[in-house]
Structure 1
Amino acid sequence: MNKKQIQHWAQIAQFFIHISTTPCEVLLQSVGSNAKILEVWSKGEPTYQKDKPLPFFSNTILEGSKERSFDQFFVDTSLTPTKKAVTLLIREENKLIGLFSIIQDYSAYQEAASSLLSLVNLSQLLEEKPTAITTGAKETTNLISDIIQEVLLELQLESHRKYNKKQKLAIISKLKERGVFHTKGGVSEASKLLEIPEPSMYRYLSSLS
Structure 2
Amino acid sequence: MHIILEQYKTLVEFLGQALGSDYEVVLHDLSEGNNAIVAIANGHISGRSMGAPLTALALRFLADKEYEQHDYKVGYRGVSRKNGHLRSSTMFIKDEEGRVIGMLCINFDPSRGVQAANAVLSMCGLPPVSCPPAGEDEEGAAQSTEIFVSNIPDVVRGAIEEVTGRSGLPSSRLTMEEKIRIVEALQQAGLFHLKGAVSEVAAQLGSSEATIYRYLSKLKN
Q: TM-score, structure 1 length as denominator?
A: 0.59
Residue deviations 1:166-202 (CA, integer Å, cap 9, x gap): xxxxxxxxxxxxxxxxxxxxxxxxxx5247xxxxxxx
1:42 and 1:50 map into 2 onto residues whose CA distance is: 10
Q: CA offset at residue 104 of structure 1? A: 1.8
Give the secondary structure class of the aligned counterpart of 2:48: coil
Over aligned residue pairs, what C-alpha RMSD do you find?
Answer: 3.7
Q: CA offset at residue 34 of structure 1? A: 1.4
- The answer as to whether partners of 1:22 and 1:108 remain within 8 angstroms in 2 is no
1:127 and 1:18 map into 2 onto residues whose CA distance is: 24
- Partner AA of 2:94 in structure 1: R
Equivalent runs, 1:20-169 vs 2, <5 Å: 20-31=19-30, 34-43=33-42, 45=44, 47-65=47-65, 68=68, 71-79=71-79, 81-93=84-96, 94-126=98-130, 129=133, 132=136, 134-136=137-139, 140=142, 147=147, 150=149, 153=151, 159=157
The answer for the alignment partner of 1:168 in structure 2 is none
1:111 and 1:89 map into 2 onto residues whose CA distance is: 33
- Partner AA of 2:58 in structure 1: S
The structure with higher relative contact order (CA 8 Å, sep 6+) is 2
Aligned length: 158
1:34 and 1:112 map into 2 onto residues whose CA distance is: 43
Overall identity of the aligned pairs, in %: 15
Q: CA offset at residue 11 of structure 1? A: 1.3
Q: Identify which range, 10-19 or 123-132, moves more after superposition.
A: 123-132
1:128 and 1:38 map into 2 onto residues whose CA distance is: 27
Q: Determine whether 1:193 maps to 2:145.
A: no
Structure 1 residues not aligned, in runs of 5+: 161-191, 196-209
- The answer as to whether partners of 1:22 and 1:106 remain within 8 angstroms in 2 is no
Task: Please identify which structure carries the higher helix content.
Answer: 1
Structure 2 residues not aligned, in runs of 5+: 159-165, 170-221
- Partner AA of 1:26 in structure 2: V
1:66 and 1:113 map into 2 onto residues whose CA distance is: 36
Q: Which runs of 4+ in 1 moved over 6 A?
A: none
- The answer as to whether partners of 2:27 and 2:105 remain within 8 angstroms in 1 is yes
- Partner AA of 1:91 in structure 2: K
Q: TM-score, structure 2 length as denominator?
A: 0.56
Q: 1:155 to 1:86 in 2, by over 3 A?
A: same
- Partner AA of 1:84 in structure 2: R
Q: Determine whether 1:13 maps to 2:17.
A: no
